[in-house]
């Protein structure tokens, strides 16, 4: 088979319930378009029936390729594995496996690609998640935009159409703690947003734990901004400034009016406050050291257990 024009990649972690819906909608989409399309499904170490369903499908329908990871590596690494496996010569369409990102938007995205955009990213006009999550996302994207050294677009996630040349660059980026939407922006070329309404999950529960969500946010902040380090310097500078002014006031008061100033509570407060600032600063340095530590190990980003490409099962020997 010739290489397809477009690859659609979707990571799946325990998605037995949404799987049949996903396949129905993707198959329908492929049938309706004249483009040659492959679907790359990545099993992120699911513990339920997902892998079995994927295997059955890929052995039956050659448009579906599967990559099975050795264990749960997390959404970003599953997508990374998908990007590496995608063979689409023109572009790669990245969606979630729970149909929150409607695959039917592919023709709209593709049109913009044909107009010369290398990256078409989806911008959420409305979210249907709960209030806490919505507010969290809202604040996070605004914070990130204000501190990041790349112009990461607001309210856009991984849902996007990425041209082959940008995917090739992303595949060469070896960073271990991945924040794909930031990496995608960093690559550059012509990029544009496409507004859409984010649907609810078709079935099942969110597979992102709060810990994973926080990790993702941390990766965005620490990998795409110098703010934390600058914050430490500024906090230190401000503290010294305040201390100096206070010191001068105290001396002047003492010279003019005499007497020793009382202030045990104030002293305690200041000590606790600045111990806190120091610990946070140490934590920030620790965060960078941790990142260097993990990166310096040079481990592979993910391990592939098995692949099914065009109905053939492959077991990679050397990763
Ligand atoms: N996912 C994954 N590995 C994980 C967590 C999630 O591959 O460790 C997949 C999941 O199956 C889904 C997509 O990533 O297709 C987005 O996850 P989810 O819908 O749980 O996140 P949310 O939309 O709630 O942020
Ligand atoms: Mg989801």
Per residue in 55-105, pLDDT (tens digit) is 999 999 999 999 999 999 999 999 999 999 999 999 999 999 998 899 999
Expressed in angstroms and rounded, the spacing between residue 258 Cα and the centre of ligand 2 is: 67
Assess whether the C-beta atom of 75 lies below 6 angstroms from ligand 1: yes
Over residues 155-169, the mean pLDDT reads: 93
Q: What does the pLDDT read at residue 51?
A: 95
- Asked if 124 contacts 160 with a C-beta cutoff of 8 angstroms, the reply is no
Confidence check: pLDDT of 52 > 80: yes
CA 3 / ligand 1 centre spacing (Å): 28
Atom of ligand 1 nearest to the CA of 213: 25
Say which range, 4-18, 103-117, 128-142, 214-228, has the weakest mean pLDDT: 128-142
Measured in Å, residue 75 CA sits from the centre of ligand 1 at 6
Give me ligand 1 centre to Cα 157, in Å: 12
Query: pTM for the whole thing?
Result: 0.83
Q: Which atom of ligand 1 is nearest to the CA of 12?
A: 11
How far does the centroid of ligand 1 lie from the alpha carbon of residue 1, in Å?
Answer: 31
- Any idea which ligand is nearest the CA of 73? 1
pLDDT category at 138 given cuts 50, 70, 90 is: confident
Q: Is the pLDDT of residue 28 over 80?
A: yes
| DSSP state at residue 103 | G
Summary mean pLDDT of the chain: 89
- Write down the number of H helices and E strands in the chain: 10, 9
Task: Pick the closest to residue 24 from 99, 101, 110 (CA basis).
Answer: 99
Best mutation site among 9, 19, 96 for ligand 1, i.e. most ligand atoms within 8 A of its Cβ?
96
- Estimate to the nearest angstrom the gap between the alpha carbon of 50 and the chain centroid: 23
- Pairing type for strands 156-163 and 91-94 reads antiparallel
Total residues belonging to the chain: 319
Q: Which residues pair with 42 in a beta bridge?
A: 11, 67
Nearest CA to ligand 1 atom 15: 97
**What span, in angstroms and rounded, lies between the C-alpha atoms of 65 and 3?**
13
Q: How far is the CA of 195 from the centre of ligand 1 (A)?
A: 21
Identify the band that residue 1 occupies on the pLDDT scale cut at 50, 70 and 90: low
**Mean pLDDT for the stretch of residues 312-316:** 85
Residue 123's φ and ψ, nearest 5 degrees, are: -115, 125
DSSP assignment of 255-271 equals HHH-SPPP-HHHHHHHH
pLDDT for residue 319: 60
Assess whether the C-beta atom of 74 lies below 6 angstroms from ligand 1.
yes
Instruction: Using the predicted structure, report yes or no on whether residue 152 has a pLDDT greater than 80.
Output: yes
Task: State the CB neighbour count (10 A cutoff) for residue 57.
Answer: 19
Of 35-39, 206-210, 308-312, the one with minimum mean pLDDT is 206-210
Pocket probe mutation, ligand 1, options 12, 13, 46, max atoms within 8 Å of Cβ: 13
Interatomic CA distance for residues 305 and 256, integer angstroms: 79
Residue identifier of the C-alpha nearest atom 24 of ligand 1: 206
Across 164-168, 206-210, 290-294, 295-299, the highest mean pLDDT is recorded for: 164-168
Please choose, from the candidates 51, 49, 103, 59, the residue with its C-alpha nearest in 3D space to the C-alpha of residue 78: 51
Does ligand 1 lie within 6 Å of residue 100's CB atom?
yes
207 lines ligand 1 (CB under 6 A): yes
CA atoms of 32 and 137, how far apart (whole Å): 34
Please state whether beta strands 156-163 and 119-126 pair in parallel, antiparallel, or not at all (unpaired). Answer: antiparallel
- Could you tell me the pLDDT band of residue 279, with boundaries at 50, 70 and 90? confident
- Residue 261 — very low, low, confident or very high, per pLDDT cuts 50/70/90? low
Q: Give the pLDDT confidence score for residue 15 in this predicted structure.
A: 93
Cβ atoms of 228 and 222 closer than 8 Å: yes
The ipTM estimated for the assembled molecules is 0.94
From 156-165, 264-273, 293-302, the region with the lowest mean pLDDT: 264-273
What residues have CB less than 8 Å from 127, skipping those under 6 apart? 133, 134, 137, 198
Residues 179-202: pLDDT tens digits? 999 999 999 899 999 998 888 888
How far apart are the CA of 182 and the centre of ligand 1, in A? 18
Please name which of 139, 153, 227, 225 lies closest in space to residue 185, comparing C-alpha atoms: 153
Model confidence at 231, in pLDDT bands (50, 70, 90)?
Answer: confident
pLDDT value at 145 more than 90: no
| Residue ranges near ligand 2 (ion) with Cβ within 5 Å | 98, 100
82: Cβ below 6 Å to ligand 1?
no
């Amino acid at each position: 088979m010739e290489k397809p024009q477009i690859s659609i990649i979707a990571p799946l972690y325990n998605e037995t319930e949404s799987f049949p819906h996903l396949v129905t909608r993707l198959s329908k989409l492929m049938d309706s378009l004249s483009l040659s399309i492959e679907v790359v499904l990545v099993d992120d170490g699911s513990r339920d029936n997902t892998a079995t369903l994927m295997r059955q499908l890929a052995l039956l329908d050659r448009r579906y390729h599967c990559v099975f990871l050795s264990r749960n590596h997390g959404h970003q690494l599953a997508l990374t594995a998908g990007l590496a496996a995608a063979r689409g010569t023109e572009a790669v369409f990245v969606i979630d496996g729970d149909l929150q990102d409607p695959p039917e938007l592919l023709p709209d995205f593709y049109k913009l690609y044909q107009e010369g955009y290398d990256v078409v990213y989806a911008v959420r006009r409305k979210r249907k998640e709960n209030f806490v999550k919505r507010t969290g996302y809202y604040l996070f994207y605004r914070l990130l935009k204000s501190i990041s050294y790349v112009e990461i677009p607001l309210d856009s996630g991984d849902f996007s159409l990425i041209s082959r040349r940008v995917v090739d660059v992303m595949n060469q980026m070896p960073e271990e703690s991945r924040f794909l939407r930031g990496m995608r922006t960093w690559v550059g070329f012509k990029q544009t947003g496409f507004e859409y309404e984010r649907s609810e999950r078709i079935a099942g529960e969110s597979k992102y734990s709060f810990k994973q969500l926080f990790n993702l946010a941390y990766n965005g902040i620490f990998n795409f901004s110098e703010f934390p380090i600058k914050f430490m310097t500024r906090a230190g500078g401000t503290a010294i400034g305040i201390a100096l002014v206070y010191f001068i006031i105290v001396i002047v008061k003492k010279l003019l009016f005499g007497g020793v100033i009382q202030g045990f509570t104030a002293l305690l407060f200041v000590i606790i406050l600045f111990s806190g600032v120091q610990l946070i600063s140490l934590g920030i340095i620790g965060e960078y050291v941790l990142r260097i530590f993990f990166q310096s190990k040079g481990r592979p980003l993910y391990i592939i257990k098995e692949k099914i490409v065009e109905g053939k099962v492959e077991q990679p020997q050397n990763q």
